Amino acid sequence: MVKLALAPLNQNQPTINRIWEEHLFPSKWREATVIPILKPGKDPGNPLNYRPIALTSCFCKTLERMINARLVYELEVNGCISPYQSGFRRGRSTTDNIAFLESQIRNAFVKRNHLVSIFFDLEKAYDRTWRYGILRALSDFGFRGHLPTFIQQFLSFRHFRVRVGTTLSDTFIQSEVVPQGSVLTVTLFIAHISSIISVLQPSISGTLYVDDLQISCQGSDIYRIQRQLQSAINDLVGWCEQNGHTISAVKSSCVHFCRKRSLHPDPTLYVHNQPIPVVSKARFLGVIFDSKLTFLPHILDLRKRCEKALNILKVLSNTSWGADKTSLLRVYQAVILSRIDYGSVVYGSARTSALRKLDPVHHSALRICTGAFRTSPVQSLYADCSQICLDFRRKQLSANYYFKIMSMPNHPLRSTFLNSCINRLYNARPFNVRPFMDRTKLFLEESALISLDVKQSTFFSFPPWSVPSINYIDPFSLFHKASTAPVVFYQVFNLHRSLYSQYVPVFTDGSKSTNYVGCSVAFPDSVSAYRLNAALSIYTAEATAISCALQRISSENTRQFCIYTDSMSVLQSLQQTESSNNPVICDI
């Protein structure tokens, strides 16, 4: 239902409009069938060890997608969601939160301060979400009319049945639970819970990834930090009590980040008179932060998990029936290299001796994929597999992430750039590792890439109800290049030109070599060539050529033009403007 063609969906438009305008919510849409899935390694005899997967109406999900697209657009454009909430938002990821925390810890170390961070666990956050709290949050954001009414009906009178095999249970009512398996659920939950950040005092910083809440405070006096954090905890507990949530003190954890060698006590913090455990390391969004920020525990844990995953490659590479090199490399990139890449922009600041512990995993995987000997030189492995060393890969990923941040004006990591005072401290204490943004900036300056002009991302350039539609003509779609003679293509093109002879032909193209990237636009009376930055891709060059052609066309008196390009990827992106965040595509 969700992926039907446009014509069948248009037939349902009157029904959808009536549901929306007359506030008629079908009762069948409130039903859900829950299938319990056992969590890995858990006792099947305990009902709490099952993850509920809810199946709801596909027609309802189609309408939810339409409403969710409009709701997300309004929330983002009007700045309703806190910039410190990174969960399920376009252009944001868990890396934002872990890089922000790492930057705060680095700055505390260079000042020779303490930084205490608390990682909270909200017990059954989805199952205890207050429905009225969601509606109140939408009302505070200024939503009126059909949208809050639909959401109120969508959340009310929900009921479900559990299915095990072919057996269905009795029907049960969901009292204050947001619907599981719903498209709207995540957006509504984020809109509701993001306001928890607003109760924090200016001296306390906090980040959210959906319901993963982390707060921290730094200073020279550990007792002052303890008082400020306890006050913040009390404010958070008060917010949770008003909105139906509960903070678990046992599952939460506290880490005291400090490099002072003198004896100093750890803070004692409480949630409902229950102490929060103080630990030497904590896993935050998949990255282990230790109290000295060496990232050695994370690297050792990562190496252990990757070595275990190498067994998959060993089985697949059996000489009698194993996969070829290309397939093995794809498996390696999906299963192992993706784990190494995750969080590398942060743990890449660890000591070189610690980072080298990951190199044997990388080299062993390449040897398994190629069938090379153990004594094969590493450089030959890189050349044969078209791979790079992990050190350069970490720098490449850091540079990509840096430019992504610079393309977003409201990204919280842009506030972590060092001011002149802290910068002098880092210059006076060169052994202190700089935070992510500044150490990446120094690397880009050394690589002569810092001067690149970064265009601002336009994730929400067009409202969902008026996304421009662009169609193209492909007269060669029925012909395969390998089995078609060139003269056939000439004839097809000449036929096409005869049908559009009244249109002025405009030809665009992009090219890329080792040290050169350029594009060209050919009109009947002139040919223009443009040199682009050598770091750009061929895709961007092709898109820039079309953009330059449109700029020239906009100044012409003639209004009938036919633009020719050989980049199918650019044409497909132009057809899916709502899912593309490329600034050149949005400009077109």
The pair of structure tokens assigned to 186 is 């995540």
Token pair recorded at residue 370: 């190629």
Residue 118 has pLDDT above 60, yes or no: yes
* Cβ neighbours for 316, distance < 8 A, ≥ 6 positions apart: 322, 323, 327, 328, 331
Q: List the one residue out of 240, 244, 121 whose CA is nearest residue 176.
A: 244
Using the Cα atoms of residue 236, residue 238, residue 242 and residue 245 in order, give the sign of their dihedral: positive
Sole residue written with tokens 């995540």 = 186
The helix or strand, by DSSP H or E, that contains position 236, with its residue range, turns out to be: helix 222-243
pLDDT averaged over every residue in the chain: 88
Q: C-alpha 40: how far from its chain's center?
A: 25
Query: Please, what are the domains in the chain?
Result: 12-290 (no CATH), 298-447 (no CATH), 486-587 (3.30.420.10)
| Cβ neighbours, 10 Å, residue 537 | 12
Region 105-133 average pLDDT: 89
Residue type present at position 498 = S
Instruction: Determine what percent of the chain is predicted with pLDDT higher than 70.
Output: 97
Q: What is the DSSP letter of 559?
A: -
Kindly report the backbone phi and psi dihedral angles of residue 279, in degrees, each rounded to the nearest multiple of 5, phi listed first.
-120, 160
Q: Which helix (H) or strand (E) holds 511?
A: strand 504-512
Whole-number Å distance between alpha carbons of 139 and 103: 36
Residues listed for the chain: 588
Determine phi and psi for 517, rounding to 5 degrees.
Answer: -135, 130
271: Cα within 13 Å, side-chain hemisphere: 24
Q: Give the model's pLDDT for residue 181.
A: 74
Summarised one tens digit per residue, pLDDT across range 391-416 is 999 999 999 999 999 988 889 998 87
CB 505 within 8 A of CB 524: yes
pLDDT of amino acid 6: 59
Cα end-to-end span (Å), the chain? 31
Taking the C-alpha atoms of residue 89 and residue 460, their distance in angstroms, rounded to an integer, is 11
Of the pLDDT bands very low, low, confident and very high (cuts 50, 70, 90), residue 7 is low
- Give the Cα separation of 246 and 60 in Å (integer): 31
Question: Tokens for 424?
Answer: 């002098």
Residue carrying structure tokens 């984020």 = 190
pLDDT of 538 over the 60 cut? yes
pLDDT for 204: 94
The single residue listed with the structure tokens 């930057």 is 103
pLDDT category, 367, cuts 50, 70, 90?
A: very high
Tokens representing 540 are: 């961007």
The first and second tokens of residue 117, run together, are 């961070």
Q: How confident is the model at residue 40 (pLDDT cuts 50, 70, 90)?
A: confident
Mean pLDDT of 108-112: 92
Strand ranges for 4-143 from DSSP E:
31-38, 50-55, 114-119
pLDDT at residue 450 is higher than 70:
yes
Ramachandran angles phi, psi of 151, nearest 5°: -65, -35
Pairing of strands 281-284, 287-290: antiparallel
pLDDT for the residue 586:
78
- State residue 8's pLDDT score: 66
267 closest CA partner among 234, 221, 215: 221
Tracing tokens 């009376």 back to the chain, one arrives at: 525
For 373, half-sphere exposure in the C-beta direction (CA atoms, 13 angstrom radius) is 3
Strands 158-164 and 31-38: parallel
Confidence of residue 359 (pLDDT cuts 50, 70, 90): very high
Name residues whose C-beta falls within 8 Å of residue 37's C-beta, 6 or more positions apart in sequence.
Answer: 50, 51, 52, 53
In angstroms, the CA 275 to CA 271 distance is 6
Give residue-wise pLDDT tens across range 248-298. Answer: 999 999 999 998 887 788 899 999 889 999 999 999 999 999 999 999 999
Q: Which two tokens stand for residue 447?
A: 């690589």
- Residues pairing with 521 in the sheet: 508, 528
Q: How far apart are CA 40 and CA 148, in angstroms?
A: 38
| Measured distance CA(409)–CA(75) in Å, rounded | 17
Residue with token string 């006076």: 428
Per-residue pLDDT tens for 418-429? 777 888 888 888
Give pLDDT, residue 452: 78
**Separation CA 523–CA 552 (nearest Å):** 9
Q: Across the strands, what pairs with 85?
A: 208
Amino acid at 236: L
Q: In the predicted model, is pLDDT for residue 2 greater than 60? A: no
pLDDT of the residue at 52: 83
Residue 289, both tokens: 């932060």
CB-based contact 518:532 (threshold 8 Å): yes
H helices of 348-478, in order, are: 352-355, 359-370, 378-385, 390-406, 420-428, 436-446
Check: CB of residue 545 under 8 Å from CB of residue 509. Answer: yes
- Identify the pLDDT of residue 196: 92
**pLDDT over 90 at 342, yes or no:** yes
Note the pLDDT tens digit of each residue in 196-224: 999 999 999 999 998 899 999 999 999 99
Query: Do 174 and 158 contact (CB within 8 A), yes or no?
Result: yes
- Left if phi > 0, otherwise alpha if psi is -120 to 50, otherwise beta: which for 40? beta
User: Could you report the per-residue pLDDT of 220-255, keeping only the tens digit for each?
Assistant: 999 999 999 999 999 999 999 888 888 999 999 999
> For 219, phi and psi rounded to 5 degrees?
170, 175
3-state helix, strand, coil in the chain (%, to 5): 50, 15, 35
Token pair in block for residue 560 = 């009938």
